[in-house]
Structure 1
Amino acid sequence: MLSEKLLNEKVLRDPIHNFVHIQDRVILDLINTTEFQRLRRVQQLGITGSVFHGAEHSRFGHSVGAYEIARRITEHFEQYYASKEANDGLWQADERLLTLSAALLHDIGHGAFSHTFEHLFNTDHEAMTRAIITGDTEINQILSQVSPDFPNKVASVIAKTYPNPQVVQLISSQLDVDRMDYLLRDAYFTGTKYGEFDIDRILRTMKPTVTGIAFDIAGMHAVEDYVVSRYQMYLQVYFHPVSRGMEVLLEHLLHRARELYLNAHDSERDFVGPLLQPLFSGESLSVADYLKLDDHVFMTYINMWRNHPDAILSDLSRRFLDRKPLKSIVIDDNTAPLLEDLEKLVAYAGYNPAYYTARNDAYDLPYDDYKPNVAKPRTQIDFLLGDGTHRELSELSPLVAAIKGQVSFDKRFFFPKDMLNIEPDELFADTFKTFRSYIHNNALTTPNPES
């Protein structure tokens, strides 16, 4: 797939990749679309900035970063692994623009506050990404200038149905341009070191094969470091209990606002406003209505709801804006039997358990090999040995073998911190005493606790 080249290469300064090199007219035009510029107003880590104050980076920066990694890979493949004849398993130059476009647009469908938005409003950012690419949008118009079927090809890469596994695995696999960029970017902006790995070494040892992407054995330790870095980032950053306490607040306050909206008379629905009304009505969102929503829109409404006459919506909005997260304890064999009594205790303290408690799961599988019989099999990380044979990563790395298939799982019960100040009557005295002991001891096992 050929593309008109820019007369002069454009560059974007980037803290992770130093420069993002834009060489194709199509890529520059895609970046300048209304739909892509919206990503500047969607934070990459949602509300994690309430814990790691530097985490204010956007989906825009991540998307151009993923593009830059894809550009470096395709340039490397064209230089060293260019296809010489049909079906030789090497890189085909006409896949370059498709790969770059898919890398750039892979997150175009993310909603405000990212995954919290999806959970509450039952949306799918990948499905919305495909709808934006193939729908009545500026992005579709630009992609269609390459060829009439080009938007559908880009969408098929996102859907993992494109017939060339090399392109699909570069965009979506256990070691893809998306994950490599967000680990480095998130580590940089959160001020942590867990997500750092040797990306230069990984890219130099990456090779196209008949079945997709593999790595030279010389890069094994760099890839091993990447897997462990991802594992650590989930435990220390993405699963952070305070961030999840803020997410629960956000989810509950939006749920309360929607509940009030649906039960109100038409004359009482103006507290939501025209931008949120299509979302709160429960009808299927059009692409146009979806694209009007971003973090800034929601924050404006939440700021207004601080003074809403409904006490629950007003209080939850205040807690969210003023960073008063719900506190939590780990749910385990010791605490699970207490939960029903704890919910009663929350009610006794004057809080509605439906809005002030939650049982929240954080789940990730850091690495696994290919299992064809599971619902969503993973593309394993393969290495090429000197004799031309392939070996899967965990067969070579004892460290990765130790975490292969091991689920990182953290389940917590969230509650308002204020209730710790109550003086319970005899009915709750023993439960409250046990409860407080688990809160005290929990600090010993909470990763990177920040209040």
Structure 2
Amino acid sequence: MGYSAEKLSEEKVFKDPVHRYVHVRDLVIWDLIGTREFQRLRRVRQLGTTFLTFHGAEHSRLNHSLGVYEIVRRIIDDIFAGRPEWNQQERLLCLCAALLHDLGHGPFSHSFEKVFDLDHEHFTQAIILGDTEVNSVLSRVDKTFPKKVAEVIAKTYESKLVVSLISSQIDADRMDYLQRDAYFTGVSYGHFDMERILRVMRPREDQVVFKQSGMHAVEDYIMSRYQMYWQVYFHPVTRSAEVILTKILHRAKYLYESGYGFQHEPHHFYSLFNGDVALADYLKMDESVILYYFQIWEEEKDPILSDLCDRFVNRKLFKYAEFQPSNDQMNKLMELNRLFKKAGIDPEYYLVVDSSSDLPYDFYRPGEEEERLPIHLLKNNGEIRELSRESEIVDAISGKRRTDHKLYFPEDLLRDESTKKNIKRQIRQLLDLDR
């Protein structure tokens, strides 16, 4: 028996609050879970700064990765098994890709990536293909196996059906994080009937399709996703924390490039500041490391870095106001910039416009920059129809991008009337703080 077919002497299970149990029978999966690169995901939160808004949102990328694996395992072992459209030889490939799809996420994920111009998908592939414990386990299956796993995650693998299980508009990744994030944040929006969706899934050559009898469960999933983005993922308080986090990293990078003498040398950040991040350095970065430096930097002599770190660590977040990028609003922003500088408050760090945007459902539109595989329904007569052609609910939101803009600022600094009273009064009037 080859390594790829080897089973554990007895099934291992992880107790899970969303799926009740995560089942592991394959030795390869068990060995991957035990690698240092996978275990690192325990130290990276799934929802970044959201724990500062919803105090229960402390779950990790590891929780989520196990959940995605479990959903894919159920699909291919319970739903697809024995169907002629499904190639059973790709079972282990799907399971490994599901388990490892988030392997390259850094601390506080997207905010961290933006500041240092990084791409977690690049690091996911680097971990799978590089000199790592994960690569060693995968290579035992077959020397070409790590490359195949990386291709599935990169959406370049030859089987679109395999890719669609992990990356599409209704995939195992989204089905897990919507439910898991709803559970840990304590909201009701992200819940939908996953059991029904799994029961009506059917494999086709290019992607998964859904029996028309399950259309309402799919509609519910799409609306759950829409609500989660606006009520949880784009929550303005969470975005305030992200703004401060981003500004801390920008300030630390600026100080380093300016030759500032840190009281405590930020050794873990050197490769990031220099724009030359080796995989070994990247893997040493997790949220415990970031938060350690933030606490240390609270004592730094630079007043901006010190203040921003104090705000993040002790949750003294910025207030926000509605903002639209119209001519009037942009003129107001220019005036606020001028007044902030006059008041001795650096607008580069303390006056920030943040925008969030989401497209809840779309289908391929020729000429647009990103191809989106549509969700297809399988009708009783065997015909396949794109979802929005059959669902009035989905049709109403298809292709409609919603964008929200907020202006973030430290209201507490504007309440300090000891100096520059008149200037701060003007700022407060422009921000409508005294209404």
Normalization by structure 1: what TM-score?
0.91
2:401 to 407, 416, 435: 407
Gaps of 5+ in 2: none
**Contact 2:79/2:199, CA 8 A, preserved across alignment:** no
Question: Contact 1:349–1:419 (CA<8 Å) still a contact in 2?
Answer: no
Counterpart amino acid of 2:126? A
Query: 1:351 — aligned with what?
Result: 345
1:109 Cα shift? 0.2
- Paired residues for 1:149-168 under 5 Å: 149-168=144-163
1:285 to 267, 277, 291: 277
1:67-100 C-alpha deviation (Å, 9 max, x unpaired): 0000000012443x522xxxxxx00101110000
CA distance in 1, matches of 2:175, 2:340: 42
2:91 maps to 96
1:58 paired with 2:91, answer no
> Structure 1 residues 431 and 354, CA, compared in 2 at 3 Å: closer, same or farther?
closer
Letter in 2 for 1:299: L
Aligned mates of 1:310, 1:29 — CA distance in 2: 46
Q: Is 1:382 aligned with 2:382?
A: no
Q: Deviations over 1:343-393 (max 9, x none)?
A: 223233331111112111111111101224322111110000011111111
User: Among 265, 271, 286, which residue is 1:272 paired with?
Assistant: 265
The DSSP-based 3-state class of the residue aligned with 1:6 is strand
User: Does the CA-based 8 Å contact 1:349-1:422 persist in structure 2?
Assistant: no
Structure 2 equivalent of residue 245 of structure 1: 240
1:428–1:254 CA distance, 2 compared to 1 (3 A): closer
Q: Secondary structure of the residue that 1:369 maps to in structure 2?
A: coil
Match of 2:363, as an amino acid?
Answer: D
Counterpart position of 1:170 = 165
Q: Contact 2:343–2:423 at 8 Å: present in 1 too?
A: no
TM-fit CA distance, 1:6: 1.1
Partner of 1:218: 213
The aligned counterpart of 1:82 is 83
Give the 3 Å change call, closer, same or farther, for CA 430–296 of structure 1 in structure 2. closer
In the TM superposition, residue 331 of structure 1 has moved relative to its aligned partner by: 1.3
Counterpart-to-counterpart distance in 2, 1:21 and 1:222: 25
| 1:174-253 → structure 2 map (5 Å cutoff) | 174-253=169-248
- Aligned residue for 2:377, secondary structure, equals strand
Change (3 A) 1:165 1:321: same
- What's the TM-score once normalised by structure 2's chain length? 0.95
Deviation, structure 1 residue 397 = 1.3
Q: Which amino acid aligns with 2:41?
A: L
For the 8 Å contact 1:358–1:414, the answer to whether it is kept is: yes
- CA shift for structure 1 position 431: 6.0
Task: Give the match for residue 42 of structure 2.
Answer: 40
Report SS of the residue matched to 1:436.
coil
Q: Distance in 1 between matches of 2:127 and 2:432?
A: 49
Alignment of 1:249-268 (within 5 A): 249-264=244-259, 268=261
Contact 2:262–2:300 (Cα < 8 Å) also in 1? no
Q: Which residue of 2 aligns with 1:68?
A: 70
Is the Cα–Cα contact under 8 Å of residues 261 and 272 in structure 1 kept in the other structure?
Answer: no
Residue 407 of structure 1: how far off its partner (Å): 0.9
- Give, in angstroms, the shift of residue 136 of structure 1: 0.7
Query: What is the aligned partner in structure 1 of residue 415 from structure 2?
Result: 421
Per the TM alignment, residue 422 of structure 1 is displaced from its structure 2 partner at its CA by 5.2
Q: Structure 1: which 5+ runs fail to align? A: 84-89, 441-451
For residue 432 of structure 2, give the secondary structure of its aligned residue in structure 1.
helix
Sequence identity of aligned pairs in percent? 50
Distance in 1, Cα, partners of 2:423 & 2:257? 37
How many residues are paired up? 429
8 Å contact from structure 2 (residues 263, 300) kept in 1: no
Runs of 4+ with >4 A deviation? 422-431
Separation (CA, whole Å) in 2 of partners of 1:398 and 1:370:
18
Partner-residue secondary structure (3-state), 2:48? coil
Aligned to 2:429: 433
**1:224-249: CA deviations, max 9, x gaps?**
00000000001101111111111111
Tell me which amino acid in the other structure corresponds to 1:273.
P
Structure 1 Cα separation of the partners of residues 209 and 338 of structure 2: 55
2:307 alignment counterpart: 315
In structure 2, the residue matched to 1:129 is 124
Tell me if structure 1 keeps the 8 A contact 2:342–2:423.
no
For residues 327-346 of structure 1, the aligned pairs below 5 Å read: 327-332=319-324, 333=326, 335-346=329-340
Per-residue deviation at 1:269?
Answer: 4.8
Tell me whether 1:142 sits opposite 2:137 in the alignment.
Answer: yes
Which amino acid is 1:395 matched to? R
Query: Which range is displaced more, 95-104 or 408-417?
Result: 408-417
Deviation at 1:281, TM superposition (A): 2.4
Which of 210-219 and 366-375 deviates more?
Answer: 366-375
| Equivalent AA in structure 1 for residue 86 of structure 2 | W
Cα pair 2:79 2:198 within 8 Å, conserved? no
Which sits farther off after the overlay, 370-379 or 198-207?
Answer: 370-379
